């Protein structure tokens, strides 16, 4: 008996490890199938992460990463004292909030109105056109903006002059830019974003609509009391997800609209992404750029976790983790 | 939209007519606003430079001219080279990326795959936390030596957590019993994926492939970061970016085409280049937009 117990005790840990080995062996093909993707994310996403150490040193090219002096939180202190961090955070968050609110309102409106329209050809043609801006590169968006806003030749000034008004110097007036950027964002994303809401309306049970008709609801009441409440959960979920990314800016949009070195507009158009890009490519201040990135990643992480916690409260099946 | 069916409104009363009228009006105006900027670019590209200097950009050319296109095609080497580079990157990248995304998405959706949660989180975590631009740039240029290498554009665009999640939601609709019965018949996991799952997921593959392809076609960010302007053949969007922003480029093409610098159609050339670089995609896209719609409705909420 004792011998058996001894053997049992001896084999127990072995069994665990052989269980682990067996698990590995049974899953080997599926693991191999995941290997390219794992390698991809290790190289392009995980390897750069330790590089955020740059935020705590005063990087200079000749000393490299390991010999440049360690300065702890000096880079962050510098960014707080000169006001950059506050300005960048404010711009990034404010733009995103306006994008989220106006974007969703407009998307819902387009989806509801499209649903009211009966003529199929009209729906098809307008939808195709409204998606179009989503399919072009950020470079072309910059060029289109130039086409409209250029002081000398822009269409806006052509129109203003023909109305007898003064032409505007758009590219040196920072106060107009929030409007331009928001309008461009709405122009590019509304048609495409309305798809989700349109699909949600299609999921609404026809019997509910018919019942409301029998009860005497008119078209306006149907929209206000049935369709909009029906879209509310989709809206809440999409909004919470966008809130998770509120510290992430749309680099392509801002960079191509404003231009690479238009310092006159930074006050109202500089976001975290454009600042980091400049600190890398123009000022070669790698440590400051990394400090801003680290700040963005850490706070972004906290915000996502919070947003996901809210999603889980609102609708558990939609939460990400 | 494709799978949308009939609209929900049934009866026509006063408010019904008002809502409808507003709908037609609003949607028409919005759609026109979406279209007009493209027409402005197109119109300007066919306008004589002198007319632009005098009257500015306009939808309808006051003085019609194809001079800008002539200059663009005078030196077709650069344009054709850019097209070939972009097409090669798009084709190779889409084929490789699609294969990896499909393979990973299938494996991670298998309920009997012991490591699925761990690997899923490993991939998903990269959307939550990132090293940012500077370390990425240093990695690419100093450690992987990909400066001025097309691989710097090709590799980072291969896959994304979003596409893998989308593939997972598509695969979820295929019953696991198919995999199980094939296993009983003795098929290996990779064979099951290649012979059974891939053919059953062609609509999903079309959708995901188009997302990857569009990403490569419109790619300019990594090109701008890692490819220097003195590379002879640049991806199309970087080429366009250089035409739009760099005076050097205009000087070079003036020398190449034997046109005096002051006679170069600076403005209309930018627009003509944009038309040539973007036109094919815009003509192509109405035929494939339904795949994008499918992608966003599948991937949106759980994205």
The CA distance from A147 to B244, in Å, is: 11
Cβ <8 Å between A136 and B278: yes
Would residue A10 count as lying in a domain?
Answer: no
**A75: Cβ–Cβ under 8 A, 6 or more apart, which residues?**
A55, A56, A58, A287, A288, A290, A291
Token reading at B37: 């900027």
Would residue B58 count as lying in a domain?
Answer: no
Kindly compute the dihedral angle of the four CA atoms of residues B70, B71, B75, B77, in this order, to the nearest 10 degrees: -80
The CA distance from A198 to A210, in Å, is: 19
Looking at chain B, list the stretches that DSSP marks H as alpha helix, in order from N- to C-terminal side: 14-45, 49-55, 67-74, 76-109, 116-128, 133-138, 151-154, 161-171, 176-184, 189-191, 198-200, 202-217, 221-226, 236-245, 247-257, 266-299
Which CATH number belongs to the domain containing residue B293 in this structure? 1.10.3720.10
From the number of C-beta atoms within 10 Å of its C-beta (0-12, 13-18, 19+), residue A289 rates as buried
* Residues of B with Cβ-Cβ distance to A79 under 8 angstroms: none
The CA distance from B287 to B215, in Å, is: 17
Same domain, A132 and A50: no
Measure CB to CB from residue A143 to each of B1, B274, B282 and give the nearest one.
B274
Residue B47, beta-bridge partner list: B64
What are the tens digits of pLDDT across the range B186-242? 889 999 999 999 999 988 899 999 999 999 999 999 999 999 877 888 999 999 998
Measure CB to CB from residue B189 to each of A30, A133, A286 and give the nearest one.
A30
- To the nearest 10 degrees (0 to 180), the angle between helices B266-299 and B67-74 is 80
Would residue A3 count as lying in a domain?
Answer: no
User: Is A293 within 8 Å of chain B by CB?
Assistant: yes
Q: Which CB contacts under 8 angstroms, 24+ apart, belong to B173-177? A: B174/B200, B174/B201, B176/B110, B176/B111
Would residue A114 count as lying in a domain?
Answer: yes
Same domain, A172 and A55: no
CA nearest neighbour of A320 among B251, B281, B124 = B124
The CA distance from B69 to A222, in Å, is: 53
Per-residue pLDDT tens listing for chain B (303 residues):
444 444 444 455 788 888 899 999 999 999 999 999 999 999 999 988 888 888 888 888 888 888 888 888 877 788 888 999 999 999 999 999 999 999 999 999 998 898 999 999 999 999 889 999 999 999 999 999 999 999 999 999 999 998 998 899 889 888 899 999 999 998 899 999 999 999 999 888 999 999 999 999 999 999 999 998 778 889 999 999 988 887 666 666 666 666 766 677 788 888 999 999 888 888 888 888 888 887 777 755 443
Based on the structure, what is the number of domains in chain A?
A: 2
Q: How far is A3 from chain B (nearest CA, A)?
A: 35
pLDDT at B213: 94
Would residue A5 count as lying in a domain?
Answer: no
Instruction: Give me the domain span that covers residue A91.
Output: 74-318
Same domain, A301 and A234: yes
Task: Give yes or no for a contact between B235 and B85, defined as CB atoms under 8 angstroms apart.
Answer: yes
What are the percentages of helix, strand and coil residues in chain A, rounded to 5? 80, 0, 20
Identify the closest residue of chain A to B121 by CA–CA distance.
Answer: A321
Identify the closest residue of chain B to A143 by CA–CA distance.
Answer: B244
The CA distance from A263 to A270, in Å, is: 9
Longest dimension (CA), chain A: 107
Q: How far is A253 from chain B (nearest CA, A)?
A: 11
Would residue A8 count as lying in a domain?
Answer: no
The CA distance from A269 to A279, in Å, is: 16
Give pTM, 2 decimals: 0.88
The CA distance from B236 to B261, in Å, is: 24
Same domain, A160 and A127: yes
pLDDT at A10: 47
Instruction: Give me the domain span that covers residue B78.
Output: 68-303
User: Is A103 within 8 Å of chain B by CB?
Assistant: no
From the number of C-beta atoms within 10 Å of its C-beta (0-12, 13-18, 19+), residue B98 rates as buried
Which CATH number belongs to the domain containing residue A275 in this structure? 1.10.3720.10
CA nearest neighbour of A290 among A275, A301, A309, A308 = A275
Would residue B155 count as lying in a domain?
Answer: yes
User: Is A12 within 8 Å of chain B by CB?
Assistant: no
Task: Give yes or no for a contact between B157 and B97, defined as CB atoms under 8 angstroms apart.
Answer: yes
pLDDT at B258: 67
Same domain, A50 and A170: no
Same domain, A95 and A194: yes
Q: DSSP readout, A66-91?
A: HHSPB-TTHHHHHHHHTSHHHHHHHH
pLDDT at B290: 83
Measure CB to CB from residue B19 to each of A36, A187, A220 and give the nearest one.
A220
Mean pLDDT for back-to-back runs of 10 residues, chain A (321 residues): 47 60 88 96 96 91 84 92 93 95 95 91 92 92 91 87 87 91 95 90 87 85 90 85 87 91 88 94 92 94 88 76 67
Based on the structure, what is the number of domains in chain B?
A: 1
Same domain, A62 and A84: no
Cβ <8 Å between B9 and A138: no
Would residue B77 count as lying in a domain?
Answer: yes
Same domain, A135 and A62: no
pLDDT at A261: 81
Would residue A6 count as lying in a domain?
Answer: no
Same domain, A38 and A132: no
Would residue A55 count as lying in a domain?
Answer: yes
Phi, psi of B7, rounded to the nearest 5 degrees = -75, 165
* Residues of B with Cβ-Cβ distance to A204 under 8 angstroms: 8
Would residue A177 count as lying in a domain?
Answer: yes
Would residue B101 count as lying in a domain?
Answer: yes
pLDDT at A78: 92
């Amino acid at each position: 008996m004792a011998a058996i117990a001894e053997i049992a005790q001896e084999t127990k840990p072995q069994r665990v490890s052989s269980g682990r080995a067996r698990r590995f062996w049974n899953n080997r093909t599926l693991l191999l199938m995941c290997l390219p993707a794992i390698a991809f994310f290790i190289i392009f996403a995980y390897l750069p992460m330790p590089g955020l150490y740059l935020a705590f040193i005063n990087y200079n090219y000749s000393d490299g990463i390991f010999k440049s002096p360690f300065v702890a939180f000096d880079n962050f202190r510098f960014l707080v004292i000169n006001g950059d961090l506050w300005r960048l955070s404010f711009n990034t968050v404010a733009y995103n909030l306006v994008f989220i609110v106006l974007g969703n309102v407009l998307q819902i409106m387009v989806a509801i109105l499209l649903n009211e329209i009966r003529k199929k050809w009209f729906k098809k043609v307008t939808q195709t056109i409204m998606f179009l801006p989503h399919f072009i590169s950020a470079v072309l968006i910059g060029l289109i903006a130039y086409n409209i806003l250029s002081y000398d030749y822009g269409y806006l000034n052509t129109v203003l002059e023909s109305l007898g008004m003064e032409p505007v110097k758009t590219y040196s007036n920072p106060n107009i830019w929030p409007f331009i950027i928001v309008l461009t964002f709405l122009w590019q994303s509304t048609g495409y974003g309305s798809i989700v809401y349109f699909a949600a309306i299609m999921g609404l049970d026809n019997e509910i609509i018919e019942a409301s008709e029998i009860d005497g609801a008119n078209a306006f009441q149907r929209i206000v009391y049935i369709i909009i409440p029906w879209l509310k959960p989709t809206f809440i979920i999409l909004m919470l997800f966008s809130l998770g990314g509120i510290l992430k800016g749309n680099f392509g949009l801002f960079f191509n609209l404003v231009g690479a070195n238009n310092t006159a507009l930074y006050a109202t158009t500089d976001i975290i992404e454009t600042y980091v890009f400049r600190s890398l490519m123009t000022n070669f201040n790698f440590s400051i750029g990394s400090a801003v990135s680290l700040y963005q990643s850490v706070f972004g992480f906290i915000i996502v976790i919070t947003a996901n916690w809210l999603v889980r409260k609102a609708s558990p099946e939609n939460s990400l983790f | 939209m494709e799978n949308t069916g009939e609209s929900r409104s049934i009866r026509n009363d006063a408010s019904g007519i008002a809502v409808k009228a507003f709908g037609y009006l609003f949607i028409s105006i919005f759609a026109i606003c979406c279209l007009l900027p493209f027409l402005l670019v197109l119109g300007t590209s066919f306008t004589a430079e002198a007319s632009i200097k005098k009257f500015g950009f306009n939808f309808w050319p006051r003085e019609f001219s194809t001079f800008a296109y002539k200059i663009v095609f005078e030196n077709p080497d650069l344009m054709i080279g850019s097209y070939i580079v972009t097409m090669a990157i798009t084709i190779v990248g889409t084929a490789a990326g699609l294969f990896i995304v499909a393979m990973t998405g299938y494996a991670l959706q298998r309920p009997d795959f012991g490591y699925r949660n761990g690997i899923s989180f490993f991939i998903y975590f990269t959307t939550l936390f990132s090293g940012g631009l500077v370390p990425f740039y240093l990695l690419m240029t100093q450690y992987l030596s990909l400066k001025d290498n097309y691989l710097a554009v090709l590799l980072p665009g291969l896959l994304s957590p979003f596409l893998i999640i989308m593939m997972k939601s598509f695969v979820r609709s295929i019953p696991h019993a198919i995999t199980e019965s094939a296993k009983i018949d003795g098929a290996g996991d990779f064979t099951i994926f290649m012979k059974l799952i891939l053919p059953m997921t062609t609509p999903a593959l079309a959708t995901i492939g188009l997302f990857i392809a569009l990403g490569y076609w419109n790619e300019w960010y990594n090109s701008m970061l890692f490819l220097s302007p003195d590379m002879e053949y640049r991806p199309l969007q970087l080429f366009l970016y250089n035409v739009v922003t760099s005076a050097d480029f205009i000087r070079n093409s003036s020398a190449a085409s034997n046109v005096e610098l002051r006679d170069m159609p600076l403005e209309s050339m930018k627009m003509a280049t944009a038309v040539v670089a973007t036109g094919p995609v815009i003509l192509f896209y109405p035929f494939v937009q339904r795949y994008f719609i499918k992608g966003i409705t599948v991937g949106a909420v759980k994205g």
